[in-house]
Structure 1
Amino acid sequence: MALRFAAALKTGAVLALAAITLSACDGSGGGSGAQSVHAVGSSTVYPFAKLVAENFARSNPDMRSPLIESTGTGNGIQLFCSGLGPNTPDMVNASRRMKPSEFDGCLANGVDKIIELQVGLDGIAFASAKGGIMLNLSPETVYKAIAARPFGKPQTAKTWKDVDPALPAEPILVYGPPSTSGTRDALKELILHVGCDTDPAMKALKKSDEETYTQVCTEVRDDGAYVDQGEQDNLIVQKITGNPKAVGIFGFSYLEENLDKIQDLPMNGVPADYENIASFKYPGARPLYVYVKQQHMRAIPGLEAFMKEWVKSWAKDGPLTRIGMVAMPPETMAANAAKVEGQTLLTKADLEAKK
């Protein structure tokens, strides 16, 4: 079946037949009979993608509702890049940009026509239970608290006061994302690297031994002070509400959704709120992405319409901002809407260029 699907994609002569074949493969009825759009990826993007899928289903009653799975960004991209055909996802949601090495993996498996959409902004929020521990954090304090070997030295900090005398003498306990999460990648890039680079010796190490530099700057401790809580951000919220001395790390939307029971811990004195993320004043602000297989476009009839549903949803007064997404600047919205209309393909040069 997968071979017939791939042949249809390559020849173009039986693309219409491919959609019918996919339906037979799927084995379930409903809508137009074609296979539903299948998206995997980020737990941060998941609630946004679910809402877009629900609105898509209401707007397109003749099409099947998209299937959205929360697998984490890293695992999602791996699944997305594994090849073409009915057993592979059509889209991946990502809470950080695809890496050039991941793009190479896609190419190696024949996934060589990819559309990249930035769909909104988010922030890596640090929070505690309402009325719980209050910390004014900085990238340096976070790095010193959770790094396995801060600045290349043994990790000895047991309390926040050990990290910074101005912080309380409470045990360091941080619930955060796993290594497969895009939130973890963004934590490394936006917070840990920044904190690590406050030591001039680390900048020098980057020039002489980049591999060691990366390990020293991004490896987190495994002695119980940092707890990998899996891909379920809601579980981190539950953990910190149950322990007033614990700190959680997750996407801004989960903070905003739970402000009745948790509180923001500012970064460099800047709260994680809508305006500070939109202006990138907040140090943990980051873009969110969706990647689409252009090669699946005609075989999955709802795929293009689902992309257009994202465009309809990401406005500042749109449905996504009402559940915690931060809207992009107007010019960024326009540029990404144009990618949908023109089905603009991503290149490795795009990924390697600094944005």
Structure 2
Amino acid sequence: MRKSIIISGVLAGMMLAGTAQARDYISISGSSTVLPFATIVAERLGRNPDFKTPVVESGGSSVGKKSVCDGVGTEFTDIGNASSRMKEKELAYCGTNGVKLTEIKVGYDGIVVAGSKAGELLTISKADLGKALTAMVPASEVRNYKTDVMVPNPFTKWSEINPDLPDIAIRVYGPPTTSGTRASFAEMVNEKGYCGKDDEAKRVLKIMGEKAKICRAMRTDGVYVEAGEQDNLIVQKLQEDPTSYGIFGFSYLDQNADTLQGAVISGTAPTFDNIATDNYSVSRALYFYVKHQHMGVIPGVADYMNEWTKHWDEDGILAESGMIPMPAAERASYAAAMKDLPLLTADMLK
């Protein structure tokens, strides 16, 4: 019996080794916002003849977090990129599949509402922006109804939200529900910027027994248009239609500053300095999640993480490409985490 167990263990080890040899490159997927930065790092690692260039794919933050949690083995993703932090229920899914992760923050990013320089510069408050894009608004804000209910958003022009805004149709291109950018925008702008600040919305929601997060839902009546996870496609649409606006990460505005301009939100323009100094209110952290079980199995995972640390400071190529660097102390903390691989737990996400 003992001998058969040993033989079985040897065979299992040989199978694992064979599986590991089936993929000799790092597989990364997730956030379209993190995508350009992860691609830069991957290409830099690929200059090392000891490693193949990692394959970096988009799909959205939800896809990145799910794919890295789907299972252990070389058929599964090694690293998931995200522009929204992992939730407890997402980590629980990891647990059901036996996946152990370490969370690495790599920098910060501002979410911009951009438009063509050939169109009108949008200067708007977070409350008005949320009111324009949230799916439900208080009936009393529509036609001064007395009814204390939330109704589908009927506003079709920016000027109907606020007479100081452009008298043009509201048309905003943005990411789908799988996107961390969309989740962060809906929370910061729709929920907290509008429903969390608008007195009438707060009053009606309280009467209805609803939480402000009901306002996170984006409109589905054609005013907000899902344009997929390819932010470059949104950029192209804005260049073609100067009356429309688009939602994406600051780096895409930065790389297209010759044709696009970012909306001034609550008095602050989306500039590198404003985001870096926390003066721009619509900003968030960027992450990747690395799978413990693939360390030492997929070649180059530790080297890929270390490659980030070579380029993520104030003078690095990632900052030049639009990513907002973390303060030095945070960079040091996460550089240490890349080596120590602290296990991500639910308590850390509370």
TM-score, normalisation: structure 1: 0.88
Contact in 1 for aligned 2:20/2:298 (Cα 8 Å): no
1:14 Cα deviation from its structure 2 partner:
9.1
Q: CA RMSD in A?
A: 2.2
1:22 to 19, 23, 43: 19
* Structure 2 counterpart of 1:106: 94
SS for the counterpart of 1:70 is strand
1:38 aligned residue:
27
Letter in 1 for 2:256: N
Structure 1 unaligned regions, length at least 5: 1-10, 27-34
d(CA) in 2 for partners of 1:115, 1:18:
26
1:243 matches 2:241: yes
Match for residue 145 of structure 2?
none
How far apart are the structure 2 equivalents of 1:318 and 1:99?
A: 30
> Residue 88 of structure 1 corresponds to which residue in structure 2?
76
Residue identity matched to 2:90: E
Q: Unmatched 5+ residue regions in structure 2?
A: 1-7, 139-149
Q: Secondary structure at the match of 1:55?
A: helix
In structure 2, the residue matched to 1:193 is 191
Q: What is the one-letter code of the residue matched to 2:116?
A: A
Please, which of 181, 184, 193 is the counterpart of residue 183 of structure 1?
181
Matched, 1:146 2:133: yes
Decide whether the 8 Å contact of 2:235 with 2:246 is kept in 1.
yes
Q: 2:289 is paired with a residue of what secondary structure?
A: strand
Structure 1 pair 264–14 and aligned structure 2 pair: CA distance change class (3 A): farther
1:1-355 correspondence runs (5 A): 20-26=17-23, 35-58=24-47, 60-111=48-99, 113-151=100-138, 152-194=150-192, 195-200=194-199, 202-203=201-202, 213-215=212-214, 217-352=215-350
**In 2, Cα distance between equivalents of 1:75 and 1:108:** 17
Cα 1:127–1:109 shift into 2, 3 Å: same
Distance in 2 between the 1:299 and 1:15 partners? 15
- Percent identity between matched residues is 41
User: Which entry has the higher C-alpha Rg, 1 or 2?
Assistant: 2
- Per-residue CA deviation, residues 11-46 of structure 1 (Å, 9 max, x unaligned), is 9989985774135434xxxxxxxx211111001100
Asked if 2 retains the 8 angstrom alpha-carbon contact of 1:15 and 1:299, the reply is no
Other-structure match for 1:8: none
Count residues with an aligned counterpart: 331
Residues 102-151 of structure 1 deviation map (CA, whole Å, 9 limit, x = unaligned)? 0111111111x211110011010111101212211221111111111124
Q: How far apart, CA to CA, are the structure 1 residues paired with 2:162 and 2:207?
A: 29
Correspondence for 2:144 = none
Instruction: Give 3-state SS (helix, strand or coil) of 1:123's partner.
Output: strand
Shift in Å, 1:349: 0.7
The Cα shift of 1:326 comes to 0.7
Cα pair distance change 1:46/1:211, threshold 3 Å: farther
Is the 1:160–1:171 contact (alpha carbons within 8 Å) kept by the matching residues of 2? yes
